[in-house]
Amino acid sequence: MSTPSKASTKGSGVGFVVVQAILLGLLFFGPVRLNAGEACGIQNVLLQWFGYAVFVIGSSIAIIAAFHLGKNLTPLPKPKDNAEFVQTGLYRWVRHPIYFGVIVLCLGWGLIQQSTLVWLYVLIIAIFFDIKSRKEELWLCERFSEYPEYQGRVRKLVPWIY
């Protein structure tokens, strides 16, 4: 089994995947409080349960969007050479529904943890996905001539909003 050469992965967005993994690892496994001795305070149980629901909804959106991509799915932001342009399913409502789903599940995690530091992670992840999607869209415009028209009618990360 051979490993991909440096030339085959250069310019594919591997760095984005690494940063994304680090950020999500920090969100789920990193420190929750700035000071380990800091009291947790009283958490609102109703907000936690709402957070679990939001987390499940976000996870479901991301999974469904991945299924809609089908054989086009890749961990890299650069589309596969044999990719087809998908505008159906969740892709009718938002250009990056997997990213949207992950952002939603991160919001759910923020509600579960109810920590300022975790909310900071969520904000950083949302900004990261905006930056990553910009690079991805450059590649999508190069690959699909109809992508700019799609950009004009479908929101990027949050349906009907952004």
Q: Answer whether 159's CB lies under 8 Å from 93's CB.
A: yes
Q: What is the pLDDT of residues 47-71, one digit of tens each?
A: 999 999 999 999 999 999 999 999 9
Q: What is the pLDDT of residues 110-126, one digit of tens each?
A: 999 999 999 999 999 99
- Spatial separation of the C-alpha atoms in residues 102 and 59, rounded to whole Å: 7
What would the 3-class secondary structure string for 26-93 be? HHHHCCCCCCCCCCCCCCCHHHHHHHHHHHHHHHHHHHHHHHHHHHHCCCCCCCCCCCCCCCCHHHHC
Mean pLDDT taken over the chain: 90
Domain 43-153, CATH class in plain words: mainly alpha
Query: What are the extents of the domains in the chain?
Result: 43-153
- Spatial separation of the C-alpha atoms in residues 103 and 156, rounded to whole Å: 13
